[in-house]
Structure formats: structure tokens, C-alpha cells
Amino acid sequence: MPETILIIDDEKAIRDSLAEILADEGFLPLTAASAEEGLHILDEQETDLVLLDIWLPGMDGLEALKLIKQRFSLPVIMISGHGTIETAVQATQSGAFYFIEKPLSYDKTVLVIRRGLQVARLERENRLLRESEPPLPTITGNSPVIRRLRQQIERVAPTDASVLILGKHGTGKELVAQTIHRLSARNRQPMIAVNCAAIPEELIESELFGHMKGAFTGATETKKGKFDQADGSTLFLDEIGDMSLKSQAKVLRILQEQQFERVGGSRTIGVDVRVLAATNKNLEEEIERGHFRADLFYRLNVIPIEVPDLVDRPEDIPLLVADFASQFRRKGMGDKQFTPEAFHLLQRHSWPGNVRELRNLIERLMIMTPSEVIQEEDVATSLGSTSGVPQRAMQTGTSYQHLAYKNARRQFETDYLRAKLEENDGNVSKTAEDIGMERSHLHKKLKALDITLK
């Protein structure tokens, strides 16, 4: 389809000759002798670009430009016989794409029009791309506790203060850290996250501070650590309660001096890093037990933020469900509605795995429910199939009763551990803590039962 170009000029000769040339170039020209008439045409007809004279009877071109820019999103090229630098500047500030002077060079006019159309096309494409991108994750909820959490985040985010984020598994601690970073002046660089529980004790220093070539067996290259990578940005020390005392001492020093040495290196490196930390442990108790340094705690705890349990804010569940359902819909899992009874059941559950457990459940429901509407029974079945698997099976007596004791036990252990692992996103340390079993023992059990991790 040819692109439509509206020429607004009070000189008939100009309108006619421009229209002729534009038609020759394959455009569809429209003409108007005044701004008022031009605006009327824009209201009526899909237009791609406007050529607008500055001097017009009635409403002048600059005023018309402002109105056009307010109401439509299309490039406007200003034309004038009496162009001064000032009007040109004014026009550009009001959003004109370009400013050309009379007498018009037709070649140049066509060139500028083509460029204007191209820029508009790119902008349109960019906008479409942006709109199709998933929105940044946000803290969903409208309960008083979540509103307070959001306020705390907004207050602390623009500062450089260390923040200690406390909360149970799956409450959204990492999401809080991300949100603080995003609302801070450091947001042009990504936040660097370190999971202190996932890194073996002997590697954590090199992970955080980097190492020099040859510092230890296997250090074949000099490597930057997370503190280096986070220079000018934010470092998120996740599960800080699981860090060894030795590493805690080093982290404390950085927080105090903003400098450190690489493992095996002697040069002191200065960095500008904001530290956010999170834990689900009670650090005061850990201090008493001698597992956590009091001085580090006070340093990190400049601003403590507590993320509430999901069970304390059941009123947020419908919002969270809507949020997750639309996330999964974007991933192509279809469109499902929840009945009010289904919501009630979700609101009565105790959610030991908090928001993560809810999110996993919604995902499972969207995949497993064949109908468009998710009913209370679907939720009940799904809730039963995670944490409740063994209990349910025991109650109904279906799957274990016919088995010999040894096999029944094996079956029970398998079901139970699978469910618990799933609840904890396959994280062995968390599962071990959750069920009160030694991590190494759990590992052996999983191996013995032939349970593989996702």
C-alpha cells in the first residue's frame, strides 16, 4: 500500500506541485490549505507523514505541530519560506522530524520524507518489540504487609546502604533484591548475585575476590571475582547465613574498606560495590551458636527488610495467581480461569514453600488441567500431589498396602523425597534443611533410591 502524505500549505502552487511529485514517487498525497483543515483530515484518514508549512492563516504551523504530536504518532516535516534558526529550533523541540526551507528542493524533500518514514517504521517496530517483551518482574500484592514492603524498598533503593533481606524459603527475597537494584542509580549495570550456599567452602573466596594464576591447583588463569564484576553495581550475597566464618571476615573487610586482594595476589583492589544480602536463617541465633560474626551482622543489618510469609497475606493470592497465569500464558500454556472456590482453597492452604510453591502449583495446574476452567477439585488434587503425596496415599491405602514392608518403605521414601525436592525446586541443601536431614545423608538416600535431580 502506498504511504499517505498530508501536505498542509496555504500556497496552492506548492500544494499542487508537491502532490504531483509525491504521486510520481509512489506516495499517496493529500492536501490541506490550513492547519484546521489538515487536522480534520488527520482525524478522518490514516496518514503516515505530514509536511507542514509554518506560516498559515488561522492556526500557525508551530501550534498545529504541537497538536499533531499530541494526538498522533507520525513524523512531521516543517517547511517555511521565512525560516529563522529560532523557529527551526522551536519546531524541533516540539517534535518536528526535520525543517526544510522554501524554495523547496524536490530531491531533498523526497529524501527527507523517505528518511522520516523509515525512522517512524523503526520506532513502531521497537515499540512492538518492547510491548511483546515480558514485563520486568514486580512485587505483586496489595496487602498491608506487601504495601509496607514496597514502601521500604522505595525508601532504601536510591541510597547506598547495605540491606539485609530476611524471610523464609520462596517468599521473594531475591525479587526484593532485584527490585532494590532496579530502583537504584546503579541499575545501568546488572546486579551480580552469588549463592553462598551453593559454592563449596574452599572456593568461595576465589569466587568472591578472584584469584591470581597459580594461586592454587587448578588456577590456570587469573580470574576476576564477583566483587570485581559488581564494581559500580550491586552485589547480592544470597544465603549469607551459609557462609563460613573465614569468608565472613573477608566480606566484612570489604564492606568496611571497599577494597580486597585476590586469592594469591598482593595488590589491593578498590571497588565501589553496594551489598545486598539475604538469608532465611535467624542470624541472631547463628551468632549465639558461633556460626555468624556479630560485626558482619551489624554491618549488613543497616537496613533490615523482612519479606512476609504467604500465609500471612492470603488476600494477595488471587493477584499472584493472575500474575503467574499470565506469565505462563505468555509461554503458550493457554488461558485458564479459576473458580471462586478454587481461589478459596488456595487461600486456605498454609504454603510452607511460600510464593515459589504457589507459582509451581499454578504452572502444574495450567499444564495438567485439560479444561479451560480450574475447579476446586483440580486444586485439591494438585495440592495433594506435592506435599501431601505420601499422606494421601497412606490415607487411601492404595499404593502401599499391597506391598511388603521393605518395598512400601522404599516407595514411601521415594514419593516423599520427590515431593519435597519438587517443593524446593530441586535444591538439595534446602530440602535437607526442610525435612531435618543432613545434606550428605540426603545425597546418599537420593542415590540409593535412584532419584535423579531435574
Nearer to Mg ion, 174 or 242 (CB): 174
| Partner interacting with residue 171 (select from Mg ion, ligand ATP, none; CB below 5-8 Å by kind) | ligand ATP
- Neighbouring residues of 65: CB distance < 8 A, sequence distance ≥ 6: 52, 76, 78, 91, 94, 95, 96
336 binds, among ligand ATP, Mg ion, none (CB under 5 to 8 A by kind): none
Pick the closer one to Mg ion by CB: 87 or 354: 354
Q: Nearer Cβ to ligand ATP, position 169 or 186?
A: 169
With CB under 5 to 8 Å by kind, the binding choice for 175 among Mg ion, ligand ATP, none is: ligand ATP
The Cα 234–Cα 177 span in angstroms is: 9
Q: Which is nearer to ligand ATP, 306 or 413 (CB)?
A: 306
Site string for ligand ATP, 300-339 (x = CB under 6 A): --------------------x--x----------------
> What angle in degrees, to the nearest 10, is found between the helix axes of 245-257 and 201-209?
20
* 186: partner contacted, choices ligand ATP, Mg ion, none (Cβ within 5-8 A by kind): none
Strand boundaries in 82-167, DSSP class E: 98-101, 163-166
Does the protein bind ligand ATP through residue 241 (CB under 6 A)? no
Residue 380 sits at φ, ψ, to 5 deg, of -60, -45
Which of 140, 222, 385, 429 contacts ligand ATP by CB under 6 A?
140
Contacts of 365 (CB under 8 A, 6+ apart): 336, 374, 378, 379, 382
The residue count for the chain: 454
What's the longest Cα–Cα distance across the chain?
A: 101
Least separation in angstroms between residue 430's CB and Mg ion is 9
> How far is residue 92's CA from residue 134's CA, in Å, rounded to a whole number?
33
Give the nearest distance from C-beta 414 to ligand ATP in angstroms: 23
174 part of the interface to Mg ion, by CB under 5 A: yes
Q: Which is nearer to ligand ATP, 58 or 135 (CB)?
A: 135
Q: What is the DSSP letter of 113?
A: H
* Residue 356 or 392 with smaller CB distance to ligand ATP: 356
> Measured from the CB of residue 34, what is the shortest distance to ligand ATP in angstroms?
53
Stretch that binds Mg ion, among 3-11, 34-42, 173-181, 395-403 (CB under 5 A): 173-181
Give the CA distances from residue 279 to residues 163, 171, 209, 350, in Å, rounded to whole numbers and listed in that order. Answer: 11, 11, 21, 21
* Distance from C-alpha of 331 to C-alpha of 325, rounded to nearest angstrom: 10
Among 137, 352, 384, 388, binds ligand ATP (CB under 6 A): 137
Decide: 190 and 202 in contact? Cβ < 8 Å: no
Could you identify the residue written with the cell 487536522? 39
E strands of 282-338, at which residues?
303-306, 337-338
Min separation Cβ 174 and Mg ion, Å: 4
| The only residue of 61, 116, 141, 390 in contact with ligand ATP, by rule CB under 6 A | 141
Site for ligand ATP in 152-191 (CB under 6 A): 167, 169-175
Question: Which of these segments, 47-55, 69-77, 120-128, 354-362, binds ligand ATP (CB under 6 A)?
Answer: 354-362
Do 167 and 177 touch, CB atoms closer than 8 A?
Answer: no
Angle between helices 85-93 and 61-71 (to 10 degrees): 10
Shortest distance, CB of residue 323 to ligand ATP, whole angstroms? 6
Query: Distance between CA atoms of 102 and 203, rounded to whole angstroms?
Result: 72
DSSP secondary structure code for residue 374 in this structure? E
Nearer to ligand ATP, 223 or 291 (CB): 291
DSSP bridge partners of 32: 8
Comparing C-alpha atoms, which of 246, 243, 226 is closest to residue 235?
226
Closer residue to ligand ATP in complex, CB, 116/170:
170
Contact between 44 and 18 under an 8 Å Cβ cutoff? The reply is no
Which range binds Mg ion by CB under 5 A, 74-82, 171-179, 333-341, 372-380? Answer: 171-179
Q: How far apart are CA 96 and CA 50, in angstroms?
A: 10
378 binds, among ligand ATP, Mg ion, none (CB under 5 to 8 A by kind): none
Residue 262: closest CA among 232, 235, 223: 223
Which residues, 357 to 386, sit near ligand ATP by CB under 6 A?
Answer: 359
The interface with ligand ATP within residues 268-307 (CB under 6 A) comprises 280
Q: Stretches 58-66, 89-97, 172-180, 283-291: which one binds Mg ion (CB under 5 A)?
A: 172-180
Report, in Å, the least distance between residue 315 CB and ligand ATP.
13
Q: Which residues form the interface with ligand ATP (CB under 6 A)?
A: 137, 139-141, 167, 169-175, 280, 320, 323, 355-356, 359
Q: Which residues form the interface with Mg ion (CB under 5 A)?
A: 173-174
